[in-house]
A and B are shown apart, each in its own frame.
Chain A
Amino acid sequence: EAGVTQSPRYAVLQEGQAVSFWCDPISGHDTLYWYQQPRDQGPQLLVYFRDEAVIDNSQLPSDRFSAVRPKGTNSTLKIQSAKQGDTATYLCASSLGTGANSDYTFGSGTRLLVI
């Protein structure tokens, strides 16, 4: 079974540039999550979807970040105008169902450096 696939693996931007991250979850997983992981910290939830619907985007900086999952499968996270504080690893995870008992499978992440 293929795991969660993310691309690109690395991105280096200057402040003000835009970037998109792509995630292909495990086939059949209806729930998809985007987490931000600053260096030496735990993953912090940005947004998550059940199928194509956004369930919780309260932690997503809405002025610059956006996320979509149009067909309930792949997802894209976009940063419109990157800031140095956005430097982090962006992790995508998927699960079958939501809730505390769901098993999350994470991708390897995209490492973003904003200079």
Chain B
Amino acid sequence: SQWGEENLQALSIQEGEDVTMNCSYKTYTTVVQWYRQKSGKGPAQLILIRSNEREKRSGRLRATLDTSSQSSSLSITGTLATDTAVYFCATPPQGGRALIFGTGTTVSVSP
């Protein structure tokens, strides 16, 4: 598998709290994409971060990429109940071009 086993499976938090989820990957990559999937919907892209960008922000979202440790993180500040979803990291495998998705982290935000 492209992905390691450190992905946290599920988090339950209260609205307003911050949350961070992590992915580790086994083979070299130049980009990691983060997706959010709400119940009954397909995944939607949140952030794309490249190897020359150690950090990237979009609104309340912040992604990091550490190529030396082959890991990426996604943080959400000031969570809302509408952030409740499964969050996936994705990257193409070595030599491939289609995205391979991690196992996902389920985030449940209570009002």
Contact of A42 among B29, B45, B104 (CB under 8 A): B104
Q: Are A104 and B97 in contact (CB under 8 A)?
A: no
Contact code string A23-34 (vs B, CB < 8 Å = 1, else 0): 000000000010
Contact of A109 among B30, B31, B42, B45 (CB under 8 A): B42
Inter-chain CA distance A94–B23, complex, in Å, is: 24
CB proximity of A55 to chain B, nearest CB, Å:
7
Q: Are A43 and B92 in contact (CB under 8 A)?
A: no
CB proximity of B79 to chain A, nearest CB, Å:
22
Q: Are A42 and B103 in contact (CB under 8 A)?
A: yes
Contact code string A80-115 (vs B, CB < 8 Å = 1, else 0): 000000000001010000111101111111000000
Contact code string B73-102 (vs A, CB < 8 Å = 1, else 0): 000000000000000100110001111111
Q: Are A100 and B92 in contact (CB under 8 A)?
A: yes
Q: Is A48's CB within 8 Å of the partner chain B?
A: yes
Chain A residues positioned under 8 Å from B98 (CB to CB)? 33, 45, 48, 55-56, 98
Q: Is B44's CB within 8 Å of the partner chain A?
A: yes
Q: Are B48 and A91 in contact (CB under 8 A)?
A: no
Residue of A with least CB distance to B41:
A108
